[in-house]
Amino acid sequence: MRRLPRTVLAAVTAVALLGTAACGGDGGASATVAPGAAASPTPAAGTPSATGSPSVASPSAAPRPATVPDTLKFTAKTLDGAAFNAADLAGKPVVLWFWAPWCATCASQAWTVAEVAPQYRDTVPVVGVAGLGQQRAMKDFVTEFELAGVPQLDDRAGALWRRFEVVEQSTFVILDRTGKITHQGFLDGEDLTRRLAALAKA
């Protein structure tokens, strides 16, 4: 029997070995890739596609507007003549301070209000409600005690005083986040400061 040349025998052996390797593995299905092309990995859920859009959309929930309680359904004018809508404060605890320009007790509290109220402007708004006096006297009171950083409503007609059944000055009316009145009456400077800090954390 004629033997094959060594070069031919080596080529046949190499082909056989390559065929065996191609058939090996764990028996699982393999992806077919065209010659010269790279396999494309499957994108994970939520990752952007080629168009920049996520493969799985997750709708974002729009923030719901706060419900306006009855206690904050009123409008007024500030001492500067600007429009004020209490509904804008819905969803926050609110402190209404009813004062009169000739009231000595109100004057003693004014410095504390002027100092601490601006610190809580975004978390626990404090709103002054001036009544029982003339507008000029009210403006002078605000200037004297440096209350310009706190909204001051002009309630010379007493509409808000009657609405909240305020019969004396100085009176603080505290509303929680739902608009419920949780306090109505006198507060000294220390107690007001403590309550504002607590409301801001609530």
Amino acid at 73: K
Model pLDDT, residue 106: 97
- What confidence category does residue 50 fall into, taking pLDDT thresholds of 50, 70 and 90? very low
Residue 97 contacts residue 127 (beta carbons within 8 Å): yes
- What confidence category does residue 65 fall into, taking pLDDT thresholds of 50, 70 and 90? low
Helix%, strand%, coil% for the chain, nearest 5: 35, 15, 50
Q: Which of 18-27, 62-71, 159-168 has the lowest mean pLDDT?
A: 18-27
Q: How high is the mean pLDDT of the chain?
A: 78
Model pLDDT, residue 104: 96
> How many whole angstroms separate alpha carbon 112 and alpha carbon 128?
13
| pLDDT above 60 (res 40) | no
- What confidence category does residue 66 fall into, taking pLDDT thresholds of 50, 70 and 90? confident
When pLDDT is averaged across residues 104-130 and rounded to a whole number, the result is 96
> How many whole angstroms separate alpha carbon 94 and alpha carbon 199?
9
Closest CA to 103 of 27, 25, 171: 171
> How many whole angstroms separate alpha carbon 34 and alpha carbon 54?
27
Whole-number Cα distances in Å, 133 to 41, 44, 53, 154, 161:
77, 70, 63, 10, 13
- What confidence category does residue 202 fall into, taking pLDDT thresholds of 50, 70 and 90? confident
| Chain centre distance of CA 132 | 37
Cis amide prior to 170 (ω within 30 degrees) = yes
> How many whole angstroms separate alpha carbon 31 and alpha carbon 115?
72
| pLDDT above 50 (res 53) | no
pLDDT in tens, 146-156: 999 999 999 99
> How many whole angstroms separate alpha carbon 141 and alpha carbon 135?
10
| pLDDT above 50 (res 25) | no
When pLDDT is averaged across residues 98-106 and rounded to a whole number, the result is 97
- What confidence category does residue 174 fall into, taking pLDDT thresholds of 50, 70 and 90? very high
Task: Indicate the CATH number for domain 75-201.
Answer: 3.40.30.10
Domain spans of the chain, in order of start:
75-201
Model pLDDT, residue 124: 98
Pair of tokens at residue 174: 């505290």
Closest CA to 148 of 100, 102, 80: 80
**CA end-to-end span of the chain:** 101
